[in-house]
Amino acid sequence: MSTTREPNQNSETPFAPVPGSDDPRRGQEVFAPVGGPFEAPAKNVVSGPYYKGVEERLPELAQRPADPSSTEAKSGFNVDRRDLLKLFSASAVAGTTACVQRPVEKAIPFVNQPVDTWPGEPTHYATTCGDCSAGCGVMVKTREGRPTKLEGLPDHPVNAGSLCAVGQASLQALFHPERQQRPTIRFGSRVEASEWNDVFENFAGKLTSDKIGILTNGATGHRHGFFKEFLEKVGSNANRLYTFDSNSLAEATAEAHRLAYGLSAIPRADLSKAKVIVGVGADFLDVGTSLLYNTKGYTEAHAFRGPDKAKHVQFESFYTLTGARSDQRFPIPPGSETLVTLLLVNSLLKNPGVKGSAGARSQAQAVLSANSGLLNGAYENVGFTEANFDKLAEEMLTAQAVLLAGGSAFDENATTLQLAAILANELIGSYETVLFLQKDWLPAPVATGDLQRFLTDAKDLDVLLLIDVDPVFTLPPSWGVTELLQKIPTVAVLCDFPNESAPFAKYVLNTHHWLESWGDEQSVAGLWSVRQPSVRPTTDSRQAEEILMWVAAAAKKPLGYENYRAYLKKKWEDIRTVVGRTEVPAESYFDLVLQHGFDGRNSTQAVPDLSSNFSSSFRYVDTGRGGLRLVAPLDFRLRDGRHAWKPVLQEIPDALTTVTWDTWVALNPVTVAKLGLRKFDLVKVEGPAGSFEASVYPLPGLHPDAVVVPRGNGHTKQNGTIQGGNGINPLVAFGRAQDALTGAPVTYGQAVKITATGKFYELAQTQKHNDIANRKDIIQEIPLATAVANMGKTQDLDDVPNLYPAMPKQQHRWGMTIDLGKCTGCNACSVACSIENNVPQVGRGQVLLGRQMHWMQIDRYFSGPVEAPEVTFQPMLCQHCAQAPCEGVCPVFATSHDPEGINQMTYNRCIGTRYCANACPYKIRRFNWWTHRWNTVGARPQDRNPRALNPDVTVRTRGVMEKCTFCYQRVRDARHREKLNGIPVGQPGNVIKTACQQTCPADAITFGDLLDTTSQASQQRKDMRAYLALNGEHALKEYGLKTMPSVSYLAKVSLTAKPEHGHGGGHGEQQGGHGEQHGSQGEQKGGHEGQHGARQVKKAKKNG
Amino acid sequence: MRSAISRSLLPLLTVMFAVMAVGTSRPAYAWWMYTPGDTVDNVGYKPEQPIPFSHKLHAGKNNIPCQYCHSAARRSSSAGIPPLNTCMGCHRLVATDKPNIKKVTEHYNNNDPIQWIKVHDLPDHVHFPHKIHVKDKADGGAGIECQQCHGKVQEMDVVEQVAPLQMGWCIGCHKERKAKLECVACHY
């Protein structure tokens, strides 16, 4: 381990994040007026409790490249200033000569206009999301026959109107210009585009063998049943249907419940009923089994509404969004989740208040005594004392508690962990109070052990169909899938976007995107959601099921259905009987379902007692302790890589690292320092099966042993311009190992070695602006006691002395409130905003230059010690200031103020001086450095398929400033409804929801009329928790920048006290020097303490 | 650096002045107005349509109300060109022997929409919702006659643009009627 670089050569630059300790200016506010912490100049940074990157705490980790030649090119677009001017003048000449006349536009009406369809008015379709097996209801808004926006289906029981980032991004998938346009057949090394009929004939010729298999992804509807029917019809058998999902949490949970109760089902977690939520490596809010349902319930329990706010304790080795949201979070060594759960079970058993049946208690006791060797020294290993476990157990037994375990990285004990969790939940009595297995449970989307069965059987298969799965990319190469595929004579890949398995296939058949498909999902047992096409196919594709149908027909073994819709309709006749819709005539029932989107009834199943040989199924594989361990969780945006081809998902930043378009190696800062590395050092990670190189990102709060590399990126260059060549796939390092009970691949906890390569590679981060300099008015947190004491009291944030004349009284003042206590950082709002408002994606090179275009961005702030920090997310968007600094500086009045509170941006007036962006203290104005169009800018082209744009929003061109408009198109629609239908704005039937608000699963965002005292937004603005960003402390009559934003934030209610200054102790030995530094700041700032009393609980006396 | 900029700008400025000089036969600023017609504001634009549909005959002589065919106007942002089945509603029986009607019937039978040429075309950064303007005052609309913006279409054999459709012209009416004047009313 050695680095050849000189440390911090460029630390003399004016942008060095923190002056060195010997700097005489350190800690002196030379320009600050007396008592004015809000006006402290940024260069005299006085660190507050919050930090955005570890370099603010450990400046030695923030490096500059020692040798410029080792730096990778910053941007794909390298034009020197002079060339650029020449380029511009050339284009201007071309413009002046060629574009004297605008093009003649055509108006093409329908031939037969469908009834009740009007050009310019949207039509909505109810359907079911096909991006994962959670089966969320979706409402597709279509204009002139093409989808322009997806929303959650408002009354769907699973997602209740919300949609996650991945679901929102589906629209880009539908209109992706690089989707395969026609089916292809491979002849030797030659690949030929073909006609569908030829494909069917050709393929049918291969169906002579009876060894035909299908590998497909998880699904809960009738899809798998149809595949089985196909296999039987063509002479194979139904057992040759294999299911595989990279997220094997569902499989592990279902298998654990089969072993424990004989029921292969997943309990539905209604978190709204829990008072104490304990997560052990759980990721129920980011990937999980049904993240929107979980988020809804979690918000209901965990959001502040009074003293009975639920408490969330999380044990995890790396950072998940779920852990970031928790009240207490304890980093544990990778792979020790089962240990932690067993220790908790131990403490629960010891507690006299333990619940659960006698059988469950004796099984728990049996498991503990059988694994007593394992528990030896376990407390030291997990770093949490027995007394603390006892205390937690006591809390879990006194209030309604639930334990959720398992995330999206899986080791050998993933199912064993679920078994341990079952024990814990039995002992705290959470079954049928929070976890529902008896009533409305979740069906398992994949069959247990299918992957191992597939690997055994595949050697003998003659024909293999890969439907919507990519085993080459999503399984570690050490599993030898590539070799396996090469051995199978005929492989067909059926997918909506070409994947990494396609080069090994004879047939690559382009299937419909789910927005073009028929289908259904059984989201919850007894709840059926239907999927219907909302657009005519955009490419010459076919639905996967219908390809099978036509192939079977060509092989003279027809399945006997006209199309897949007919198959579904037949299946839904049974559902009609089960649900009991006898009053609806059979022939119109399916149409009714298509209109409504779903149907169902509550289901119950008998749950037997815990199996008497439960303890014998409990098998723990000791994977060793200590040393660096590789963790490859699913990325919450790209999942296992299946969404990596959607630019909007590549460009929304990872919530914790804020990195876009790349893969990183996240390490605990202490580990980074110990290895002699610094931020963005390119390192080689060597695992049992292989190695890869990626940049180091020091992420506070990871366990020092965890080497966290997210999955999702690492596609080959041939695999499309969006995903091809981005980052690396960490699976190459994993040796072949599997879950002891289900056979799912291990992606967690294998020992790795890290070596420096001596190279530097900068990751494209979105949040890299400077220290927030101890400002109290950006992020606010208040302790529960203060929040409770303030309940019922109100404040008027708009009561501010003002020299300007008052605005004329208007009918409305539009405003927004964002509850920081609810935001989970899931970024769904950001994607929804980008899709609704035609916000372009700019690519890695431009993000490196700070030119990302998000109107809505999620900022992430750490507080507390680097080893175990707390995370707060803050959605940041145009604040629509009543006294906006941007408006006064515009020389052409392109940005001005609407009397109804909207800071309006008139694109056609903008001449691109960017004065407004300089003046904006919130830094959310975005400038179009380019006209973002497919394949025009830099190395990373952007998807701007005109068909994927929202026709209600102007598309901005180069040289124009843009920013959040509060979705004015929606405000306009509501005003028209008010005038034409007579329903006042804000009343039921005419409620305005901005795109971000509508999709937010945590209901953190509220938009409304601030002048309407009954609106939720205006009431929340009066809440004592409300504050205006950068507008000082209203209670202390300090008004900060006095911009008077229309957006207000509700302070996060914290269960743990937050120190006012400094870093809350715990710096570790090696940073003693810094502790001292910050200590002196603390004294310096001591004089201001009195001013912040209203909100801060505890004035931490400095570590100095 | 300053000299580098001016050197680079020189050809640009030269060409700009040259184009402005050449353009004096039209209004001097015509080179950046980008209109398909011959005038700056496109007034008088009168393109030949694929089918010589006469509004004078239909709306004038036969007195068919505008919104009988343009029925989307009161329901949608877009006034909408009527679909072919609206034409065929009458022309299945009326004037079936005329060559142009035969053409329309052929389009209809082949499921091939007619590609009309847009006469009134606002820039993409302006949003003009028809429904709120044309609906009767009693129904919450502004109750504006179609003719106010589109001219006496019922007297035109070939439709031409009569109003400039420029911002000053919009604002004039909005001021007169005390309608919303904020930028965001039309630009978002």
The residues that bridge with A631 in the sheet, in sequence order, are A708, A748
Chain B hits for A85, Cβ within 8 Å: 4-5, 8-9
Contact A972 B135 (CB under 8 A): no
The DSSP result for A537-565, as a single string, is -SSS-B-HHHHHHHHHHHTT---S-SSHH
What's the confidence (pLDDT) of residue A44? 54
Q: Do A401 and A460 share a domain, yes or no?
A: no
CB atoms within 10 A of CB A370: 14
Check residue A807 and report its DSSP letter.
P
Q: What is the mean pLDDT of residues B158-183?
A: 92
- Which tokens belong to A827? 């970024």
Cβ atoms of A969 and A953 within 8 Å: the answer is yes
CB atoms within 10 A of CB A625: 15
What's the confidence (pLDDT) of residue A1012? 92
Mutate to test the interface with B, among A79, A80, A88, A106 (most CBs of B within 10 A): A106
Name which of A85, A899, A953 is nearest B5 (Cβ-Cβ): A85
Q: A40 pLDDT exceeds 70?
A: no
**Would you call B107 helix, strand, or coil by DSSP?**
helix
| CATH number of the domain within which A217 lies | 3.40.50.740
Q: A710 pLDDT exceeds 70?
A: yes
Q: What is the mean pLDDT of residues A604-625?
A: 89
Full residue range of the structural domain in which residue B1 is found? 1-32
Q: Do A911 and A898 share a domain, yes or no?
A: yes
Chain B hits for A102, Cβ within 8 Å: 34-36
- Which tokens belong to A275? 């008072």
Q: Do A684 and A720 share a domain, yes or no?
A: yes
Look up the pTM and report it: 0.87
Phi and psi of B51, rounded to 5°? -120, 125
Rounded CA-CA distance A251/A265 in Å is: 9
Cβ atoms of A745 and A733 within 8 Å: the answer is no
Rounded CA-CA distance A50/A28 in Å is: 19
Per-residue pLDDT tens over the stretch A390-421 = 999 999 999 999 999 998 899 999 999 999 99
Chain centroid to Cα A401, Å, comes to 26
Rounded CA-CA distance A196/A189 in Å is: 21
Provide the sign of the torsion angle of the four alpha carbons A398, A401, A405, A407, taken in this order.
negative
Closest CA to A907 of A946, A953, A944, A945: A953
B158 touches chain A (CB under 8 A): no
Per-residue pLDDT tens over the stretch A670-695 = 999 999 999 899 999 999 999 999 99
- Counting the structural domains of chain A, the total is 4
Rounded CA-CA distance A577/A501 in Å is: 41
Q: A1078 pLDDT exceeds 50?
A: no
Name which of A96, A106, A907 is nearest B187 (Cβ-Cβ): A907
Residues across chain B: 188
Contact B19 A980 (CB under 8 A): no
What's the confidence (pLDDT) of residue A625? 82
Provide the number of CB pairs (under 8 Å) joining chain A to chain B: 160
**Does residue A62 fall inside a structural domain?**
no
Closest CA to A898 of A816, A814, A805, A984: A814
* Banded model confidence at residue B1, pLDDT cuts 50, 70, 90: very low
Interface of A with B in 889-948 (CB under 8 A): 896, 898-900, 902, 904, 906-909
Report the percent of chain B where pLDDT is more than 90: 66
Q: Do A299 and A190 share a domain, yes or no?
A: no
Full residue range of the structural domain in which residue A483 is found? 184-243+446-524+527-600
Report the percent of chain A where pLDDT is more than 70: 86
Per-residue pLDDT tens over the stretch A881-934 = 999 999 999 999 999 998 888 999 999 999 999 999 999 999 999 999 887 765
Find the helix packing angle between A81-98 and B2-22, rounded to 10°: 0
CB atoms within 10 A of CB A182: 16
What's the confidence (pLDDT) of residue B143? 92
**Does residue B3 fall inside a structural domain?**
yes
Rounded CA-CA distance A683/A674 in Å is: 14
Interface of B with A in 66-105 (CB under 8 A): 71-72, 75-78, 80-86
Cβ atoms of B81 and B66 within 8 Å: the answer is no
**Does residue A116 fall inside a structural domain?**
no
Contact A972 B127 (CB under 8 A): yes
- Which tokens belong to A641? 């890589």
CA angle at A687 for the pair A468 and A215, rounded to the nearest 5°: 15
Chain centroid to Cα A1056, Å, comes to 26
What's the confidence (pLDDT) of residue A606? 93
Q: Do A507 and A421 share a domain, yes or no?
A: no
What's the confidence (pLDDT) of residue A1101? 36
Q: A17 pLDDT exceeds 70?
A: no
Chain A hits for B123, Cβ within 8 Å: 908
What's the confidence (pLDDT) of residue A188? 87
What's the confidence (pLDDT) of residue A563? 93
Contact B19 A96 (CB under 8 A): yes
In chain B, whose CA is at the least distance from the CA of A84? Answer: B8
Contact B86 A113 (CB under 8 A): yes
What's the confidence (pLDDT) of residue A101? 53
| CATH number of the domain within which A652 lies | 2.40.40.20
**Would you call A604 helix, strand, or coil by DSSP?**
strand
Cβ atoms of A40 and A1032 within 8 Å: the answer is no
Strands (E), A761-854: 764-765, 781-783, 814-819
Q: B55 pLDDT exceeds 60?
A: yes
Q: A753 pLDDT exceeds 60?
A: yes
Strands (E), A132-256: 137-143, 146-152, 184-187, 190-193, 212-216, 241-243
Q: Do A356 and A401 share a domain, yes or no?
A: yes
Q: Which of A67-71, A153-157, A570-574 is the least confident region?
A: A67-71
CB atoms within 10 A of CB A284: 26
Per-residue pLDDT tens over the stretch A935-985 = 433 444 444 567 788 999 998 888 899 999 999 999 999 999 999 999 999
3-state secondary structure A678-717: CCCEEEEEECCCCEEEEEEEECCCCCCCEEECCCCCCECC
What's the confidence (pLDDT) of residue A723? 85
Strands (E), A642-796: 659-660, 664-667, 681-686, 691-698, 706-708, 748-751, 753-760, 764-765, 781-783
Q: A93 pLDDT exceeds 90?
A: no
B57 touches chain A (CB under 8 A): no
- Counting the structural domains of chain B, the total is 1
Q: Do A286 and A388 share a domain, yes or no?
A: yes
Please give the single-letter amino acid code of residue A959: G
Residues across chain A: 1104
What's the confidence (pLDDT) of residue A1084? 37
H or E element in which residue A895 lies = strand A895-897
Cβ atoms of A888 and A822 within 8 Å: the answer is no
Q: Do A398 and A263 share a domain, yes or no?
A: yes
What's the confidence (pLDDT) of residue A1085? 37
CA distance A685 to chain B (A): 46
Q: Do A428 and A451 share a domain, yes or no?
A: no
| CATH number of the domain within which A878 lies | 3.30.70.20
Q: Do A806 and A911 share a domain, yes or no?
A: yes
Cβ atoms of A679 and A54 within 8 Å: the answer is yes
CA distance A534 to chain B (A): 20
Q: A1102 pLDDT exceeds 90?
A: no
Rounded CA-CA distance A1041/A1048 in Å is: 14
Strands (E), A359-453: 401-405, 435-436, 442-443
**Would you call A228 helix, strand, or coil by DSSP?**
helix
The residues that bridge with A691 in the sheet, in sequence order, are A686
β-pair type (A659-660, A764-765):
antiparallel
**Does residue A353 fall inside a structural domain?**
yes
In chain A, whose CA is at the least distance from the CA of B48? Answer: A104
B115 touches chain A (CB under 8 A): yes
Contact A85 B184 (CB under 8 A): no
Rounded CA-CA distance A629/A749 in Å is: 5
The DSSP result for A896-933, as a single string, is EE-TTS-EEE-GGG-----HHHHH-TT---EE-SS---
What's the confidence (pLDDT) of residue B85? 92
The residues that bridge with A242 in the sheet, in sequence order, are A215
| CATH number of the domain within which A293 lies | 3.40.228.10
Residue A1096 vs residue A845, higher pLDDT: A845
Q: What is the mean pLDDT of residues A615-634?
A: 90
CA distance A141 to chain B (A): 15
Rounded CA-CA distance B162/A816 in Å is: 43
Rounded CA-CA distance A579/A472 in Å is: 41
* Banded model confidence at residue A54, pLDDT cuts 50, 70, 90: confident
CA angle at A652 for the pair A58 and A474, rounded to the nearest 5°: 95
Q: Do A546 and A693 share a domain, yes or no?
A: no
Contact B34 A104 (CB under 8 A): no
Q: Which of A250-264, A468-482, A937-951, A1020-1034 is the least confident region?
A: A937-951
CA distance A990 to chain B (A): 15
What's the confidence (pLDDT) of residue A91? 42
* Banded model confidence at residue A770, pLDDT cuts 50, 70, 90: low
Rounded CA-CA distance A931/A928 in Å is: 7
- Which residues, 6+ apart, have CB-to-CB distance to A289 below 8 Å? A134, A249, A250, A253, A266, A442
Please give the single-letter amino acid code of residue B117: I
**Does residue A665 fall inside a structural domain?**
yes
Contact B111 A102 (CB under 8 A): no
C-alpha atoms less than 13 angstroms from C-alpha of A105 in its C-beta half-sphere: 11
B176 touches chain A (CB under 8 A): no
Rg from Cα positions in chain B:
22
Contact B34 A100 (CB under 8 A): yes
In chain B, whose CA is at the least distance from the CA of A86? Answer: B8
* Banded model confidence at residue B9, pLDDT cuts 50, 70, 90: low
**Does residue A644 fall inside a structural domain?**
yes
Please give the single-letter amino acid code of residue A180: Q
What's the confidence (pLDDT) of residue A271? 94
Q: What is the mean pLDDT of residues A793-815?
A: 87
Residue A157 vs residue A770, higher pLDDT: A157
Cβ atoms of B184 and A904 within 8 Å: the answer is yes
Per-residue pLDDT tens over the stretch A127-147 = 999 998 889 999 999 998 889
Q: A264 pLDDT exceeds 50?
A: yes
Per-residue pLDDT tens over the stretch A278-336 = 999 999 998 888 899 999 999 999 999 888 899 999 999 999 999 999 999 999 999 99
Check residue A727 and report its DSSP letter.
S
Q: Do A935 and A801 share a domain, yes or no?
A: yes
B132 touches chain A (CB under 8 A): yes
Contact A92 B16 (CB under 8 A): yes
Closest CA to A102 of B121, B161, B44: B121
Closest CA to A50 of A1068, A1051, A1020: A1051
